[in-house]
Structures are given as C-alpha cells and as structure tokens.
A and B are shown apart, each in its own frame.
Chain A
C-alpha cells in the first residue's frame, strides 16, 4: 500500500505512471462497476408459482450416507417427481433410492453426465426441471423459492445461492465456501441484476423443460472446435437458455448446500475443469453475447482478459527486478528501497486492497479475516493462473474428480 502511495506520488511528481498502478486501477474500476451492479440486485419474484416440478439427479459413485441425506432433503421438498439416473449400475445406491417410494430410478450404461441428465429429461413430465447433484442438500422450501421466478414467462433458468456444508472442517472447504459466497454475492448478484446470469451452476439449477427439450440434440452433441463437449454441462444449459432469448435469474432466497473437495489435488482438478469450461463457453457465446445487455459481455470478457493482464504484470515485475527498470527513484537509498521491504509492504498492501473488496464477505463471516492471506494466495497463485492453463487446454474434457 505504501508502494501504491509512492506510485501515486511519482505520478504527480515525475508524471510517470507505473504499470502496476495501471493494473491496480483497472482491477478497481472493473470491480467497482461490477460491484455497482451487484448492489443493484433485488429479489424480484416473491409470489408463489404453482406448477409441476421434476427433479433430475444424475448419479455416479456417491457416498451412500450423503446420497441418502441429500435424497431425503429433496423428498422433503415435495416436488412432483424425482428421477435418479444412475450413470452405470450401483447396487448399493439403487437400494437406497428404492427405499423412497416416490423416487423413479433409471439405470444407464456409463455414458457421462450429459447423457444421464438427458435421459432423465425425456422421462420427466414437469414444466420445470431441476438439475441437482447427488451430493447437494436442499433445505426446507428450497424448491418453492427456486421456482418462483418462473411465474414470469420470460425467465428460462434460475440459480439459487450455493453453500458448502461443514465449511469449517478443513481449509479447502473453507476456501471453497468463500469462493461460492463470492459467487453468490458478487458474480450472481451482478449478473442477476440484469437477469442474465452466465452460469447456473450444476449443484442445483432450474430450467423450463421445453427450452432444453427443444435443444437436446445440441446439448448432447455439442462440439467446440471439433471436440465433443463433455464437461461444462451447466454452462451449456445456461447458454442454450440465454441464446433462445430467455432470462436467467438469481433467486437469492433459495439456498442449497453442497459438498466440496477435501483434498488439494481434487480441488486443483476441479478448478482447472471450471477454468476450461468457463472460458470455452465464453468464447462460444461470443456470437450472441452482445445482443444481451452490454454489462453481460463486459463481465465475461473482462474475466477472460484479467488473468492474462495479471500474469503479465507478474512477469513484468520480475523483469523489472532483474533489469532494475522502473525503480522508485524517490526511495532509493532508504530502507523503503529494499527488496524485502517491497515484498512485505506489497503483500500487506495487496491484502488490504483485496480485503476491502472482500469486506462484504468478511462482514458475513468475521473469522475469515484471519484467512484472508490464505484466500489471497489461493486466488492469486491458483485461481488466476489456472485460468491461463485452462485457456490453452480448453478442449481437454476430463472430469478428473468423478
């Protein structure tokens, strides 16, 4: 932060702008715009909507206890229909499923999540389809809240708030919960404020059946640069909905609880999978994203470019360090000019700048202030670089965590 001030000082004194300062300003301007939109978000739909609802749960290798609890919570929500599609037979889980009288089970040979979902879809009868992961728990009245927006015929898809259950069990769960909390209160809120949410995430999302049914072939045989799309089914469904002119909305009053990775390796794999499909689908939506509100394209494209800018700033800083370019003439020869001071004060400064942007989260979860440096490191050294890696390997289709 001291360096930030120094940079401003040099800007005024020497009329020289540091690259990092440009990056810093860019981050803040983009953030402020997005934040402004997120602040404008209001829950629009509060009236109950009476309709028929089918819940489809594609299932593959789940922990039996969690599977049972999650299923029980769904049954308690009392939808019209629950269809479990087993992607390859699993006797243990099938038995649990059969113990719930209302639940339909379909077993298919192992063919991927998309096929499992499609199989459920063609067998479903409800006007609204809820796609739910087998590890996601729905609290009471969750479905009732979730389908409220469909009272508006323009709405094609809805996403709830997504939380991690037992977030304090280990640091990965804690960080994952933080990431989800940010997604809810920032990304989903900002995009929700213009009723154009770019991704209705897989743990739980609701669609109008007719929209997906009309594009089922596209959904199943989607290709990107000649490779069949396997992962990113949630982004795909969202794209189909948006492309047909429907709105996708964020219903903050509906909350679901889902499981998280517990091991770092799996966390990493999940992140790279998300990075791949997120950027891939952003590119695929290039042809129509500008027909949506401008903020939508701004959001997606700034997210696409940001990691490149960030990594470039890191590289430039390193180059400057090696070649002694772009130094601070004002502090040369004082303790302020030493590398250690730069690194430490820089880290504190970044924490501060970052912390301000995380204030709303920290207010919701005060204990996380101690985790801020960890979260910062995860974001800066995993979440952002992984997007670059994802960009160059975006045709890779492995689930890796399934």
Chain B
C-alpha cells in the first residue's frame, strides 16, 4: 500500500482546511451550548472565567505560601486566626509598614489584587451579620466554611457610646486581607434593650450643629488611612419608632435628621475621604404615622446605597406572619426604584416557624436574581438567636435543611464572594 506518495502542498492545505472545519464545527456547537447556558444564568463564559480568577489567585497564594515569604497572605491570616486570639493577629498586622496599604498579594508581581465593590459586576454581593463580629474573626471563617463560600461583606452594628466607639481599623484591615469589606451600621446612641428610651445626648440636632465633630473626624481620618472601601449605614430605620434617632423620638424632626446626615457627609468630605459609601436605610413606611421614607431622603449626592431590612418573622412572634421574600421586598423595591441607586438588603433573614425556611431561601434567592436587578448586595442576619427578639431563629444553620438550601442557593455564581481589582504596588 503505497500511501506515502507525495501529497503536495495544495492538498496539505485542503486537508488542513477540512480538519479546521471539523474543529470549528465542534467549537461552534460548544460555544452555542455555553451561550444558551449563559442566557439562563444571565452571564457569559467570560464572567465565569473572571470569577474563577479569584479562586485561581487564592490557589496561587496557597502555593506561594509553601515557599518561605515575609508577606502575609490570606492563609497565614487564617492560620494565625484559628490558633490564636485576635490581639496577636492585630500585632502581626501592625508590624507592617504604616503607610503601606494592606494588600493581599500575588507576590512577585507588580500589581496586587484588592477587594472592591464593583457595581458593574453582574450579581449580588453576599454578606453576613455574625455573632461576635468584630470580636472574633474566627466566627467569619467558620461561617464561610459552613456556607461553602467566602462572603464579600461583613456587617456589624456599632454605637457612639464611650464603651466601644472607635473605628476598628486593625480589624477592618485584617478583614480586608481576607478579602472582606465591612458594612458598619453606625448608631448614634448607647445600645440598650430598652429601645424606645429617649437618649437626648444623641439628638440629631446636636450632631447637625457639630457637637460630635471630633468623633466624626476621627472616624473619617481612620477610614481614609485604611484606604479600602467601607460602607456606612448611619442611623438606620429612622422612619420606625424604636430607635432614639428616629423621627419623632428625641424630638427629632425630618429636617434635623437630614441635616445631621448631610453634616456627617460634609465632615468626611472635608477630610477628603473618598473610600466611604453611604447606605441610607429606612424601614420603608409608606403610611406610617412617624414619617414617610421620602421625606427623610438626604439627596442623591449624599447617598450611595439604598438599604433595606427584610425579615420574615414567621409565626414565632404572635403579631407577625409568614411571608415570602417577594412579599416583604416587592413593595419596598418598587418604592426604592425612583432613587435608581444600588440596593443593599442590609439585614435579611427568615424564621423557622410557620413555613419551610429552606424553600423560602431557595425561592427567595432565585427571585432576587430574577426580579430585582437593582439589588446588588444582601447581608444575612446570622445571629444564632435573635439578640433583641427572643425566640426567632435567624441563623442560616437553624436547621440542616435551611443550611443546605442556603449553600445551594449561593452556589449560584450570581451571588458574589469577594471581587478583586488589580492595582499597582506603590
């Protein structure tokens, strides 16, 4: 069989053409499939690759960790965290050069990856309110382990009382090292179980006229020196009747509230802070005797995010009932649409009693993705047992079914973990 006869360049090209056609045909069908799959997820293959880039970066870091290196990586933070208390870890960080911003690193390159909130990204940033955060960062790692995904945002509540009023820059930095951005509900009161008790020392009028300026300025400076993005949710649920800063409490008027907000904003501006994002988060009372949400909106230039608290109280609390996420969120979302700002569900949770929590989560999260394009972040309110409302089971692992549902729901890449941006090393 004499087949090794000379084929000739022309035929070689033709043969190459045929094979190329075969490859193209295969690629065509694969691309078509990927595209059709993407339609459903509302994201393209490139998004998926981009998402997995972070995983890749983490993986590279893990490998680099094996090689001796002075620069700290996420894993070393984690290791230090799990073995030793927070104070030791803070020491480690404070050992770093003061003026150098903490950076998680693809070491040996000229750029580093830094966590950001990119509103262009398709998806919803995932966050959590966790027990004893900012106290024990291990709780965050344990939570992430539990839900099978790293969260982008961690949210805590911090009041203005003398006890614990400083901006916790060390913790914020170490969280940032881990890839996490903080959202702080900044509460002008002294935390108490007796909500409705007036606290005249924190009157909105006093804030507006500058009584708290040194304190506010301290925060502004600290946030500026930190350098990474910080979300601040000042005096939330101000149209309810339970916090002392709410309209009608402490003699606060709508005008005073707006003035206080604007004043704080201006102080930050004076300090040239550009890395803070303001979350205005009313309770969305439509026909409430206290105030209507739209009478207390500080204005487009003073607000970066629209916040909401979405709780399905179930039937544990007698005066409440089981509602779907859509039922709780739908009308608020409609009201918020007119501001055309990204929406953060700064507190989101569901009770166990009165219906299926796992169904609530699965349906709710699927609906979030499908029906609420302006919702760009959600924060699960994960107190194991509600601190302020006795028996309601807010935690995501209140039952194995609920936890499994949550894991499954957020496995959808639409729910974003930390997103990173490449920035050059200075």
Residues of A with Cβ closer than 8 Å to B? 14, 16-19, 22, 112, 225-228, 230, 283, 305, 308-309, 311-313, 315-316, 319-320, 323-327, 329, 332-333, 337, 388, 391-392, 394-395, 397-398
Contact B48–A325 (Cβ < 8 Å): yes
A398: nearest residue on chain B (CB-CB)?
A: B1
Contact A325–B41 (Cβ < 8 Å): yes
CA distance A337 to B11 in the complex (A): 51
Partner of A316, one of B1, B8, B34, B41: B34
Partner of B38, one of A226, A305, A312, A325: A325
Partner of A312, one of B26, B40, B411, B412: B26
Contact A397–B41 (Cβ < 8 Å): no
A305: nearest residue on chain B (CB-CB)?
A: B25
Other contacts beyond A19-B37, A226-B12, A228-B2: 18, CB < 8 A: A14-B40, A18-B36, A225-B7, A225-B15, A225-B18, A226-B11, A305-B25, A311-B26, A316-B29, A319-B33, A323-B52, A325-B34, A325-B413, A327-B412, A332-B408, A333-B359, A333-B405, A395-B15
Sort A-B residue pairs by CB-CB distance and give the 9 closest, nearest first.
A312-B29, A316-B33, A326-B37, A226-B11, A226-B7, A19-B33, A225-B11, A312-B30, A308-B25
Q: What's the minimum C-beta distance from B42 to chain A, rounded to whole angstroms?
A: 10
Q: In the complex, what residues of A have CB within 8 A of residue B39's CB?
A: 16
CA distance A327 to B413 in the complex (A): 11
Q: What's the minimum C-beta distance from B223 to chain A, rounded to whole angstroms?
A: 36
6 contacts between A and B (CB under 8 A): A225-B14, A226-B11, A226-B15, A227-B5, A230-B3, A326-B40
Q: What's the minimum C-beta distance from A396 to chain B, rounded to whole angstroms?
A: 8
Most-contacted residue by chain A among B33, B404, B405, B408 (CB, 10 A) = B33
User: Provided the pairs A17-B36, A225-B14, A324-B413 are in contact, do residues A308 and B2 lie with their beta carbons within 8 angstroms?
Assistant: no
B413: nearest residue on chain A (CB-CB)?
A: A324
Contact B41–A19 (Cβ < 8 Å): no
Q: In the complex, what residues of B have CB within 8 A of residue A309's CB?
A: 29
CA distance A380 to B59 in the complex (A): 36
CA distance A323 to B412 in the complex (A): 9
CA distance A17 to B40 in the complex (A): 8
Instruction: Tell yes or no: B321 within 8 A of A by CB.
Output: no
CA distance A179 to B251 in the complex (A): 88
Contact B5–A228 (Cβ < 8 Å): yes
A313: nearest residue on chain B (CB-CB)?
A: B33
Q: What's the minimum C-beta distance from B403 to chain A, rounded to whole angstroms?
A: 11
Contact B37–A325 (Cβ < 8 Å): yes
Residues of B with Cβ closer than 8 Å to A? 1-3, 5-8, 10-12, 14-15, 18-19, 22, 25-26, 28-30, 32-34, 36-41, 48, 52, 358-359, 362, 366, 404-405, 408-409, 411-413
CA distance A112 to B404 in the complex (A): 66
Q: In the complex, what residues of A have CB within 8 A of residue B26's CB?
A: 308, 311-312, 388
CA distance A315 to B408 in the complex (A): 23
Contact B404–A308 (Cβ < 8 Å): no
Q: In the complex, what residues of B have CB within 8 A of residue A327's CB?
A: 40, 412
CA distance A391 to B34 in the complex (A): 24
User: Provided the pairs A225-B14, A308-B29 are in contact, do residues A323 and B8 lie with their beta carbons within 8 angstroms?
Assistant: no
Q: What's the minimum C-beta distance from B105 to chain A, rounded to whole angstroms?
A: 26
Contact A325–B11 (Cβ < 8 Å): no
CA distance A283 to B14 in the complex (A): 12
Contact A19–B18 (Cβ < 8 Å): no
Q: In the complex, what residues of A have CB within 8 A of residue B40's CB?
A: 14, 16, 18, 325-327
Contact A326–B408 (Cβ < 8 Å): no
CA distance A316 to B34 in the complex (A): 6
Q: What's the minimum C-beta distance from B54 to chain A, rounded to whole angstroms?
A: 14
A329: nearest residue on chain B (CB-CB)?
A: B366
A395: nearest residue on chain B (CB-CB)?
A: B15
Contact A324–B30 (Cβ < 8 Å): no
Contact A324–B2 (Cβ < 8 Å): no
Partner of B29, one of A313, A332, A392: A313
Contact A324–B411 (Cβ < 8 Å): yes
Q: What's the minimum C-beta distance from B289 to chain A, rounded to whole angstroms?
A: 41
Contact A319–B409 (Cβ < 8 Å): no
CA distance A228 to B408 in the complex (A): 58
